[in-house]
Amino acid sequence: MLRYILSRLGQSLILLLIVSFIGFAVLTLAPGGPLSQFALSPGMTQEQIDKIAAQMGLDRPVWIQYFDWLRHLVVGDWGTSYRDGQSVLHVIGSHLFATLLLMGTATVISVTLGSSIGIYSALKRGGTFDYAMTVFAMVALSIPTFWFGLIAIYVFSLNLGWLPAGNMYTVGDGSLIDYLRHLIMPAMVLALVDVAIWSRYMRTSTLNVVKQDFVRTAKAKGLTRRRVLLKHIVGNSLVPMITLAGLQLPMVLGGALVTETVFTWPGMGRLFLDSLGYSDYPVVMGLLMASAMLVLIGNLLADLTVALIDPRIRLD
């Protein structure tokens, strides 16, 4: 187990290095750049722009800029935001809780609903519920997330007035109920597509388990239907779903970017778009690295969890 963990950590470091290089190269080759914001200022001369570039270290060769940034990253200095002069870690940290809250809530909703729908669809295969959930999954996977968000705002906010249209809380309130009212719509919209995915995978996994010999043996022993379902079918069906949870992290992060923008949720996704529009490259690179770390850690934890609960799997 220890050897496996060390091996995965080594692979993760290599992947982070590749991600950082590609991200830095793409931002460097992109048109505009950090200096484009200063060039738009009235009365700004080329000499002044060159002086600002020298102060920011942008007049050096790209490979020197990259290794200098990487050296500082290793020691915990992620740079300084071009926009407000704050530490990149401080900027990301101030938005991290909002994203984790949204992603965590959406994940709990999608796993709970998706697993329940998938199991019931498998047990009632070919029935009305199974066909209805298949249609729901196809619709949810075919329509963009932002469209669901706009429809939710139009129906539940503008027409019915049940829920706020955006933000994380009401200024001057900040109560738990207020946080929950602001969280319901973005979390449900973000979870919608994942519910469809989880229900399909869980249905397939459950159908595979139901056909196994140990399930038939349990039924032959006279165990009740409830005990066979809870002890033998559900537990074994959930094992491959843990791996899926790790693989779903990039999709959830991508969905959070869109959802946070639609609902003006102050998370990392919205910060990424704002920083990209402002050409705040240190923050963009910091968000890229933080997202990559979250995905790699999530996948590692998923693999370790599967190995711990399933004795058939050995991590050597």
The full set of domain ranges for the chain reads 1-75, 94-271
- Determine the pLDDT at residue 72: 86
The CATH code belonging to domain 94-271 is 1.10.3720.10
| Percentages (nearest 5) of helix, strand, coil residues in the chain | 75, 0, 20
Determine the angle formed by the axes of helices 235-262 and 281-309, rounding to 10 degrees.
170
Q: Say which residue, 229 or 32, is predicted with more confidence.
A: 229
Q: How confident is the model over 67-99, as pLDDT tens digits? A: 888 888 888 888 888 888 888 899 988 888 888
Distance (Å, whole) CA 294 – CA 260: 18
Residue 115 has pLDDT above 70, yes or no: yes
Q: Looking at residues 286-296, what average pLDDT do you find?
A: 85
Helices (H), 143-175: 145-152
Residue 245 has pLDDT above 80, yes or no: no
- Determine the pLDDT at residue 228: 78
| Helix H or strand E segment including 35 | helix 35-39
φ, ψ for residue 80, nearest 5 deg = -125, 140
User: If pLDDT is split at 50, 70 and 90, which confidence band does 302 have?
Assistant: confident
Nearest CA to 105 out of 265, 311, 241 is that of 265
Mean pLDDT for the chain?
Answer: 81
Q: Which stretch of 28-37, 80-89, 95-104, 112-121 has the lowest confidence by average pLDDT?
A: 28-37
- Determine the pLDDT at residue 96: 86
Distance (Å, whole) CA 260 – CA 270: 6
User: If pLDDT is split at 50, 70 and 90, which confidence band does 309 have?
Assistant: low
Determine the angle formed by the axes of helices 235-262 and 268-277, rounding to 10 degrees.
40
Residue 50 has pLDDT above 80, yes or no: no
Of the CA atoms within 13 Å of residue 168, those in its CB half-sphere come to 15
- Beta carbons within 10 angstroms of residue 211's beta carbon: 9
User: Exposed, middle or buried, 52 (CB in 10 Å: 0-12/13-18/19+)?
Assistant: middle
Q: Looking at residues 42-55, what average pLDDT do you find?
A: 72
- Determine the pLDDT at residue 57: 72
- Determine the pLDDT at residue 250: 72
Distance (Å, whole) CA 88 – CA 77: 8
- Determine the pLDDT at residue 312: 61
Distance (Å, whole) CA 260 – CA 96: 12
Distance (Å, whole) CA 184 – CA 246: 24
User: If pLDDT is split at 50, 70 and 90, which confidence band does 1 have?
Assistant: low
- Beta carbons within 10 angstroms of residue 119's beta carbon: 22
Q: How confident is the model over 121-152, as pLDDT tens digits? A: 888 888 888 889 889 888 888 888 888 888 98
Q: How confident is the model over 171-219, as pLDDT tens digits? A: 777 788 888 888 999 999 888 888 888 888 888 888 888 777 777 787 7
